């Protein structure tokens, strides 16, 4: 049945791990039993009394840069290193969504043998959303679901060999970590359409199991009860062990009524944990597990009782308001199995109280995560699990997914995409420039120097206008440009000097430049540097992916984009809300977007005390340099690892990718006539005071930069500033014994 049979509390199988020569030594850990008490999880060690375990957790996926999660490519060394980091951050629970490679369980066993405070596991089984949607009726997947749960049970008991199968981990599972498995959280966020279809085609007969029952449950709830019952029964028969179990749930299928929710599918059906109950034979018990984020669904913003809710700090807090209702709606101890906000440059959703899905610095991410964990604990839950441990480059976000190649997403770092930046652990491109003014990182950059002398104005700002070089480099996240100047003397006087950078990827010839430059350049994009409040990147309208995909909804004049006027460039935008009507009030919330081409000034070096993870531009007066980094997606690059970009949108659509060999980069300085950045007319061929490489017959000459390509991205690991904040809040609650 399982290859090896153990008993509850049999300890770790240290002999199997020691045979690998990892230096951790053999030996068994303490015997542990787990159960759900009135307020949360409890553990009994070596036959002693049960004591509380409040969850301070992180979710751990199976992806890493250059790899999809189904490749199961995380190594033993990485698991060892990450578990050590988790322990230092006061993490006591790691949640995994599916069976990981054997290296994970070996690393966990080794860590727990060598540390007095163990890291426990909440283990899940994965069932793909598309698989569920294709099935419609979830009951047709019962056999495969049960098989996956048996595999989970066998893996944690170190008693199975899993044959290779595309998309899944495999290998010999020979290390028993069952004494660290706090419980099981089965399944995924259930699509409402699947829940409805399962309820429609099956009779509501309930379920009466040996360990889990759902006497009055809906067909879908009865199906879940049967799946948990089968898993508990299997572990009981095969290993003489029982531990707490739950199914994954989320706001969309909670048991509450949400009259202010504008999208029908987000409150169309419920999956109630209280429909399930543990029998007297199942002393470990069941619990409720919810994914709860602050910015979606819209009901979290639009429900007055949530938006106006006053939290334990005396502040308005919609997240705390919802948690208060959710905890009150279940008799089960409630675990917030996912919560988080991303430190991405791009944004996908707004929260009424600023806990947005993106456009947050790593420091802001940490502040919000710490506050959310406090909300979770003060609501009387069993604890919370941060999403996620590490950034995941393979992820997509709804508003940006059409603009990148789905088959190549893991191979580059899309800092625009919020779903890729939830982690506490960052993966930085190994050859990234620090964006702090230091010249060393630009040693191998493509460089050009000016061919002519600058126009002199004799107003005291000529040194800042005189370009001595332009350098261009790139990495797996950014195109980087450095302007070197004759002298900045404490920083540019932005009223006297602005800069333009023209960027061309489509090789369609010279275009008239904006801002009254009275010049042309091979430009698909133009950057204006006019100071911290007046810098932006703009795009030639016909190449504006936002206008092509969302322009009709945004109310844009699409003729302007199909056939632009000379010199017309438009802001780069990012949709964050496609519009909806709030029930009850009939208030119309319009289509909304943000100008994602706005550029932020700061220091981009993580080792600097002035570090700003969202910095786009750094001015270094001591180095007489201005540095700029631009996310690849702002340049319509769908896959930088292969130098592929979006094509002619209005002719070929979004998925007709084209290969580019190089990027044309030209830089110039000018005197602004006003706050809008318009150039002051000069008695010269153009209104530009200097250019690199130069100007010929009114056209900026460009330096041709050929970005390197790669098969596997080179990267380094780094704990974000947010990790410190999470470790601190976890530590505070741990010291309080909560």
Strand partners, 95: 59, 122
Q: How far, in Å, CA of 377 to CA of 729, rounded?
A: 11
* Helices and strands (H, E) in the chain, number of each type: 16, 43
Q: What is the pLDDT of residue 20?
A: 44
Quick check: 110 and 27 in contact, CB under 8 A? no
- Give the C-alpha separation, 709 to 711, whole Å: 7
491 in the Ramachandran plot: left (φ > 0), alpha (ψ -120 to 50) or beta? left
User: How high is the pLDDT of residue 325?
Assistant: 98
What does the pLDDT read at residue 700?
97
The answer to whether 353 and 294 have CB atoms below 8 angstroms apart is yes
Give the closest residue to 602 by CA, choosing from 584, 585, 617, 622. 617
CA atoms within 13 A of residue 150's CA, in its CB half-sphere: 17
Q: How many CB atoms lie within 10 A of CB 251?
A: 21
Q: What is the pLDDT, as a whole number, of residue 3?
A: 29
State the DSSP string of 542-610. GG-HHHHHHHHHHT--HHHHHSPPTT--EE-EEEEE--EEETTTTEEE--EEEETTB--BSB--TTSTT
The model's pTM is 0.95
Per DSSP, 330 falls in state -
Nearest to 548 by CA among 533, 538, 534, 558: 558
Looking at the DSSP assignment, which residues form a beta bridge with residue 160? 173
- Do residues 70 and 99 touch, judged by C-beta distance below 8 A? no
Burial classification of residue 500, based on how many CB atoms lie within 10 Å of its CB (0-12 exposed, 13-18 middle, 19 or more buried): buried
Beta bridge partners of 715: 429
CB 196 within 8 A of CB 270: no
Q: Could you tell me whether strands 120-123 and 93-96 are parallel, antiparallel, or unpaired per DSSP bridges?
A: parallel
Q: CA separation (Å) from 97 to 292, 324, 400, 450? A: 16, 26, 25, 56
The beta-strand segments (E) located in 403-497 are 425-429, 446-448, 467-474, 478-485
Which residues in the chain show pLDDT less than 70?
1-28, 738
Contact call for residues 467 and 492 (beta carbons, < 8 A): no
The 8-class DSSP code of residue 672 comes to B
Give one word for 166, left, alpha or beta, with left for phi > 0 and alpha for psi -120 to 50.
Answer: beta
Bond into 358 cis (ω within 30): no
Q: What tokens appear for 591 in the block? A: 């289509």
Reading the block at residue 578, the tokens are: 């496609």
Q: In the prediction, which pLDDT does 7 show?
A: 27
- Token pair 């988790």 is at which residue? 86
């Amino acid at each position: 049945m399982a290859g090896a049979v153990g008993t509850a509390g049999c300890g770790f199988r240290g002999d199997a791990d020691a045979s690998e020569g990892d230096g951790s030594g053999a030996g068994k850990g303490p015997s542990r039993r787990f159960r759900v008490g009135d307020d949360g999880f409890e553990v009994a060690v070596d036959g002693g009394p049960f004591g509380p375990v409040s969850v301070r957790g992180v979710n751990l996926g199976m992806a890493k840069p250059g790899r999809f999660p189904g490749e199961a490519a995380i190594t033993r060394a990485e698991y060892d290193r990450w578990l050590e980091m988790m322990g230092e951050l006061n993490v006591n629970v790691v949640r995994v969504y599916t069976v990981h490679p054997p290296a994970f369980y070996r690393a966990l066993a080794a860590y727990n043998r060598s540390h007095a405070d163990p890291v426990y596991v909440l283990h899940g089984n994965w069932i793909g959303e598309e698989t569920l949607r294709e099935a419609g009726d979830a009951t047709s997947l019962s056999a495969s679901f049960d098989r996956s749960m048996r595999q989970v049970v066998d893996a944690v008991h170190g008693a199975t060999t899993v044959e290779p199968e595309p998309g899944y981990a495999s290998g010999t599972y020979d290390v028993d970590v069952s004494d660290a498995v706090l419980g099981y959280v089965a399944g995924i966020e259930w699509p409402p359409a699947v829940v409805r279809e399962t309820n429609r085609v099956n009779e509501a007969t309930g379920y009466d199991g040996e360990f889990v029952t759902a006497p009055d449950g809906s067909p879908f709830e009865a199906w879940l009860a049967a799946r948990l019952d089968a898993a508990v029964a299997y572990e009981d028969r095969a290993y003489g062990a029982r531990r707490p179990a739950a199914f994954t749930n989320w706001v969309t299928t909670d048991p509450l009524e949400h009259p202010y929710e504008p999208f029908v599918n987000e409150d169309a059906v419920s999956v109630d944990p209280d429909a399930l109950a543990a029998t007297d034979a199942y002393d470990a018990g069941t619990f409720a597990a919810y994914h709860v984020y602050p910015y979606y669904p819209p009901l979290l913003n639009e429900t007055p009782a949530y938006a106006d809710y006053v939290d334990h700090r005396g502040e308005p807090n919609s997240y705390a308001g919802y948690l208060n209702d959710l905890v009150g709606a279940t008799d089960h101890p409630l675990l917030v199995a996912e919560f988080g906000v991303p430190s991405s440059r791009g944004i996908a959703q707004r929260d009424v109280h600023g806990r947005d899905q993106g456009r947050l610095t790593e420091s802001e991410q940490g502040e919000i995560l710490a506050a959310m964990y406090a909300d979770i604990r003060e609501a009387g839950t069993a604890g919370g699990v941060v999403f996620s441990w590490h950034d995941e480059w393979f992820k997509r976000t709804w508003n940006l997914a059409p603009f990148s190649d789905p088959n190549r997403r893991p191979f580059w770092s899309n800092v625009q995409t919020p779903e890729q930046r939830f982690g506490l652990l960052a993966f930085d491109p190994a050859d990234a420039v620090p964006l702090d003014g230091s010249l060393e990182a630009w040693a191998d950059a493509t460089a050009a120097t000016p061919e002519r002398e600058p126009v002199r104005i004799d107003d005291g700002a000529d040194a800042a206008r005189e370009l001595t070089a332009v350098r261009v480099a790139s990495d797996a996240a950014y195109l980087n440009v450095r302007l070197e100047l004759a002298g900045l003397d404490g920083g540019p006087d932005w009223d006297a000097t602005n800069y333009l950078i023209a960027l061309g990827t489509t090789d369609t010839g010279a275009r008239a430049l904006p801002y009254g430059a009275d010049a042309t350049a091979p430009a698909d994009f133009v950057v204006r540097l006019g100071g911290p409040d007046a810098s932006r990147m703009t795009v030639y309208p016909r190449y504006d992916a936002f206008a092509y995909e969302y322009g009709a909804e945004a109310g844009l004049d699409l003729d302007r984009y199909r056939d632009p006027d000379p010199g017309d460039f438009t802001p780069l935008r990012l949709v964050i809300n496609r519009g909806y009507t709030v029930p009850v009030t009939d208030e119309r919330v319009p289509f909304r977007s943000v100008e994602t081409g706005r550029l932020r000034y700061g220091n981009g070096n993580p080792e600097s005390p002035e570090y700003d993870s969202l910095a786009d531009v750094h001015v270094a007066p001591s180095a007489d340099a201005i540095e700029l980094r631009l996310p690849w997606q702002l340049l319509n690059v769908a896959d930088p690892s292969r130098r592929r970009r979006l094509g002619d949108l209005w002719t070929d659509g979004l998925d007709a990718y084209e290969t580019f060999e190089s990027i044309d980069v030209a830089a110039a300085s000018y005197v602004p006539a006003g706050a809008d950045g318009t150039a002051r007319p000069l008695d010269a061929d153009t209104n530009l005071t200097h250019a690199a490489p130069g100007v010929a017959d009114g056209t900026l000459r460009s330096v041709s930069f050929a970005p390197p390509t790669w098969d596997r991205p080179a990267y380094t690991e780094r704990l974000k500033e947010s990790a410190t904040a999470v470790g601190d809040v976890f530590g505070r609650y741990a010291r309080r014994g909560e």
